[in-house]
Amino acid sequence: MAASNDLQEALKPFYQRASEAEERLARLEAAFSTRKAGDTGNEELLNKVAQLQRMLEDEKEKALKEAQKASEENAKLRYRITHLTRALQKADSDLASK
């Protein structure tokens, strides 16, 4: 019986260290799972940001195309105005000379 008491006394520090190690492991696992859950949130945010950037690029391309079309239409209208003005001036000068 004294031998079993001595054995338990000898193993007591090992049990203590094993308990401390289990507690540290539990804290680490909890921290890791919390961190991993946070990373999932970050991934979702990064995905949303990437999606918004794609949408912004699409809108930018559409706006550039519309601006290009408006610029072309403006040039056509200016060309017509120039020719109509010249034709009007010519008609006025023809009437004035008669």
DSSP string, 9-54: HHHHHHHHHHHHHHHHHHHHHHHHHHHHHHHHHHHHHHHHHHHHHH
The predicted structure's pLDDT at residue 44: 84
Q: How far is CA 70 from CA 45, 63, 73, in A?
A: 37, 10, 5
The predicted structure's pLDDT at residue 34: 75
What whole-number distance in Å separates Cα of residue 7 and Cα of residue 4?
5
The predicted structure's pLDDT at residue 85: 97
What whole-number distance in Å separates Cα of residue 7 and Cα of residue 2?
8
pLDDT, tens digit only, all 98 positions of the chain: 566 777 778 788 888 888 888 888 888 888 877 776 656 667 888 889 999 999 999 999 999 999 999 999 999 999 999 999 999 999 999 998 87
